Amino acid sequence: MEKNQQELYEYARKRVKQKRRVYLHFIFFFVGSIFLFIINKWLDVEPDYDWYLWAITAWAFLFILHFIKVFVTESFINKKWEQEQIEKLVARQERRIDQLQQKIDKENPQNIQE
């Protein structure tokens, strides 16, 4: 397998793994929420206080963060974006080095002749 194809395969494998984990997280969240409700209401663990709502809300917040990381952040800040940013920074550094070299050559014309 070529290096480029290997990179594409590894990236695709990583994305599938991330998405799988989000789906599993959702399943655990759904089942866990039902379980927390049952514990609170049916098993009479402090039934006067709806503590399960706080637990479900906190868990939902964590799930939303996980979802955003995988489906929003990773979708546009990926390997291609990273490579483009590296290329931009390298090009900027090369331009700056050329500018500095031109400035040095202007200030010291005798260095050019040597």
DSSP 8-state class, residue 77:
S
User: What is d(CA 84, CA 36) in angstroms, rounded to the nearest whole number?
Assistant: 46
Residues 6+ apart with CB under 8 A from 9: 1
Domain boundaries, the chain: 1-75, 78-114
User: What is d(CA 18, CA 70) in angstroms, rounded to the nearest whole number?
Assistant: 6
Give residue-wise pLDDT tens across range 1-54.
687 788 888 888 998 999 999 999 999 999 999 999 998 888 877 777 889 999
Whole-number pLDDT of residue 1: 61
Q: Position 108: which residue type?
A: N
Q: Is the pLDDT of residue 112 over 60?
A: no
